[in-house]
Amino acid sequence: MDGNYQNKEEDLKLSIFQQWITEIIKNKYWDNYRELHIDEISRDFDDYKNWFEEALVILEIFRECLYDDYKVLLVIELNYLINSMENSRLDWEFLKNNISHFTPPAFYLFPKNDSKLIKTLKI
């Protein structure tokens, strides 16, 4: 019984991702930077302490649902640092420990060759 419930819950979450992708593509919402925040997917994602790991899992699910002509971009807001830091300190542990608890990670969908996506990735 538990396995059945878990499968239904996973199917529901997967359909949420597919619906979001379909809506973004149909309406070309990438022009308006329409995002999907992790806490909008499920109440299971309300605890900011788990946002980093959960966002990575969800990113992988999006990649499985995505059409070849599109890319999903994960944006994670970090806490403000008073002092600058060296790039060598920027690792998974740093990201996990410095994720902002004000703004949940967000996903954006773009066509692969979209100029906004290309410019963003060049920065």
pLDDT of residue 1: 45
Beta bridge partners of 70: 111
pLDDT at 35: 93
pLDDT value at position 13?
63
Task: Name which residue leads in pLDDT, 88 or 98.
Answer: 98
* pLDDT for residue 56: 92
Residue 6: the pLDDT is: 54
In the chain, where the domains are located: 2-122
Is 90 exceeded by the pLDDT of residue 74? yes
The structure tokens listed for 116 are: 């906004």
pLDDT at 111: 94
pLDDT at 10: 65
Q: Residue range 89-116: average pLDDT? A: 89
pLDDT band with cut points at 50, 70 and 90 for residue 87: low
Nearest to 112 by CA among 79, 70, 73: 70
pLDDT band at 5 (very low <50, low <70, confident <90, very high): very low
Q: Answer yes or no: is pLDDT of 4 > 60.
A: no
pLDDT for residue 94: 84
For residues 38 and 105, is the Cβ–Cβ distance under 8 A?
Answer: yes
- Distances in Å between the alpha carbon of 97 and those of 10, 34, 75, 76? 28, 27, 16, 12
What the block records as the tokens of 110 is 């773009």
